[in-house]
Each structure stands twice: as C-alpha cells, then as structure tokens.
Structure 1
Amino acid sequence: MKNTIAILISDGFDEWAVKGSQQFFKSHKESKLVLISPKQGEFVRSWNYKDWGASYAIDEHLQEADPAMFDALIMPGGALSIDNLRTNVAVLDFVQHFIDHSKPIGTLCHGIWPLLELDCIRNKKLTSVASIKTDIIRAHGQWIDQAVVQDGFLISSRTSDDLDAFLSHFNEVLASILQE
C-alpha cells in the first residue's frame, strides 16, 4: 500500500523543493505525490531563486481535492506561493483537515505560514527560513535552528538546502504510518 502525499503549491513555489521531492519519492516507491493548487488553469510556475523557473502541471485542483484521500501534506517554500496560499480560505480548510486528523505535515522555508494563519503552532518546536523566526515566536512557537525539527505530526525544515535531511525524515515518518 502506498502513502499519498499532497504537495500544495501556487505560482512562485520553490522549484528545487518540489523537483527534489518528486525525484526522492520516485526512487522510494512507497509514496505517491500529487501536486495540488487553487490556481485555475493547468500549470503553476516555479521560482528558482533569481527568476521564474519551469511550469509544473497541476495534478488536482484544490476545489476538487478531498483531503481525506491523502496521508500527508507537504508545503514547500517560495514566499510568493505561500503568501498566496495562506490567505486562501479553501487552502486553510484543506490544511485544517491534516491538523484535525494528526496527519503528517511537512513544511520547508516559508511553508509554515498557513500553520501560523491557523494558529496551530502554539508551544510547538519548529524551524523555518530565518527571516520568519520572529513570526513563529510571536505565534508562541519555539523556533529551533536545525535542518529538521519534528513536533508531533509537524515536520519542518529551514530551506531547500536541508531538503535531503527533510525528505529522509519525512519518509521515515511515512514508513511508520504504513506499518500501523
């Protein structure tokens, strides 16, 4: 049985985080990735740190995606993408499902912002890109400067520089779900 992982993205997502995740989970065949976006149309554009990157096909539009069909959620960074996602009520409802059911949620870089909007990081240990450390502290979370931090079902990482460590840890969490 495979785990199905939703990757929530919008225009401006961190291309390396998504591309690296796709490559990692393709080689670890026990998980299937599904790119989900609230954006209308067929594609979302990535950001490669200096300019627009490649466009990626949307596997499912958020309006049609049932969060109950997914075992885990990854929200990659890309400040532009995440800033669009965290202000979208439908996105927040989708993310809330994972919180309510204690399903693994992985965040990279700015990917933690929707969790801040949902006020669910109080007293949680987390990491992120350093520029939003203050946001986490003000939301009563504990920011830790480590490659990967796990607190319950929340798994966070600083940037795509930590992607290998993040994906390995996230995969271990998913493997433990399969054994249950």
Structure 2
Amino acid sequence: MAETLTGKRVALLVADGFEQVELTEPKRALEQAGATAQIVSPAGDRVKGWQHTDWGDAFDVDVPLDSASASDFHALVLPGGVMNPDALRQNEKAVNFVRGFFDQNKPVAAICHGGWTLAEADVLQGRRVTSYPSIQTDLKNAGAVWVDEEVVDDNGLITSRNPNDLPAFTAKLIEKIAAG
C-alpha cells in the first residue's frame, strides 16, 4: 500500500457474533499497511466470529474492554454482524469507548450493522452514513443522513454497507489514518 501506518494502533471492537470477514479483512489490510490492529472486546480472552449463517472461528482478545481507552489508539473499527453490535450497544463501557474516539476526533469505521453501536453512542446527528439497509431507519432516527453508497466518509466517520464493500472500506480507512 502507498500509505504507511507504522506506529499507528487501531482498535477493532467486537463481541461474540461479529461478521468474521468484517474483522479479518480490515485487520489484515491494516497490518499490511504497518499498523498494529488489536481486537478489543468485553468477551473475555476469546471472541467468536460468525460466518454468514453459522459460527466461525475464535480469536484471541488483545485488549479487554475494561482496560481499553480511546486515547491509546489512533482509530476504531466496528465490524458488523447482527449479534455483535446488538451486544455492544447494550454495554455502557463499549458505548463510552466508541464515544471517546469522537470526542478525540479520531477516525471511526463501521460496516454493515456496526452503525447500531454508533446510534447508541449518540454520535450520528447530521452525519452522512451508509449501512446494511435494514438498519437505515435506526440510523436516521439517531439523526444520520443515510445514503446507499459503497463507502461514505463524513469527516473521518467511514461507513460501508456489507462485506462486498470491504475493499473500498479498508482503503478509505487506511487513507484516513495515514492522513492523521
């Protein structure tokens, strides 16, 4: 990749049931660009992915949510899946962790159903976003301007609709982190 993210630390916040490819692809791309991409989770030592219609692989948690702080990272990634963001939006520590990135004006990237956590964090007012179409009403009700596009960048808030958008999503994320 043209951009280099050496020295950059990126949090990937997940609970059990995240869409596996929405974690593995951004993590791989970030690491190839030189970033340290770390899984942050309230789930304990391991967190389990979801692959389309069944449970996927288990992944080691790098940083427990209880000891994570937005100030320790340069950016945040919120993978989707249905179970994962539904669990995170009910976790006060997860919601506050997400809000911390906005308070510090750091890049945040959410794909698919990941926008549910953004809605709960109350950070969408007036922001242009996209998501999996079934949650567009939730995002609109949270104050977002929802559009059906492959990737949307609203002042460092990067959103995409589904796994098909991952190439554009990861490219935009890397571009934003590299730009500082």
Point out where structure 2 has 5 or more consecutive residues left out of the alignment.
1-5
Residues 52-99 of structure 1: CA deviation (Å, up to 9, x unaligned): 000011001001112211000000001101100001011111111101
- What displacement does 1:25 show? 1.9
Deviates most, 117-126 or 46-55: 117-126
- Alignment RMSD (CA, Å): 1.0
Give the aligned residue type for 2:179.
S
Task: Please state if 1:27 is matched with 2:35.
Answer: no
What is the 5 A alignment of 1:17-96? Answer: 17-29=22-34, 31-40=35-44, 42-96=45-99
Residues 13-50 of structure 1: CA deviation (Å, up to 9, x unaligned): 01011111222123212x1101000112x211100011
Task: Please state if 1:106 is matched with 2:109.
Answer: yes
Give the aligned residue type for 2:177.
L
Give the aligned residue type for 2:153.
Q
CA distance in 1 between counterparts of 2:172 and 2:121 reads 24
CA distance in 2 between counterparts of 1:93 and 1:26 reads 26
- What displacement does 1:127 show? 0.2
CA contact (8 A) 2:99 2:123 kept: no
Task: Please state if 1:116 is matched with 2:97.
Answer: no
Secondary structure in 2 matching 1:110? helix
What percentage of aligned pairs have identical amino acids? 34
Instruction: Compute the TM-score of the two structures, normalised by the length of structure 2.
Output: 0.94
CA distance in 2 between counterparts of 1:21 and 1:124 reads 22
Deviates most, 148-157 or 18-27: 18-27
Task: Please state if 1:11 is matched with 2:16.
Answer: yes
What is the 5 A alignment of 1:165-180? Answer: 165-177=168-180
- What displacement does 1:121 show? 0.7
CA distance in 2 between counterparts of 1:117 and 1:82 reads 10
Instruction: Compute the TM-score of the two structures, normalised by the length of structure 1.
Output: 0.94
Q: Look up the match of 1:129.
A: 132
Give the aligned residue type for 2:64.
H
CA distance in 2 between counterparts of 1:120 and 1:165 reads 23
Give the aligned residue type for 1:120.
V
Give the aligned residue type for 2:21.
W
Point out where structure 1 has 5 or more consecutive residues left out of the alignment.
none
Secondary structure in 2 matching 1:56? strand
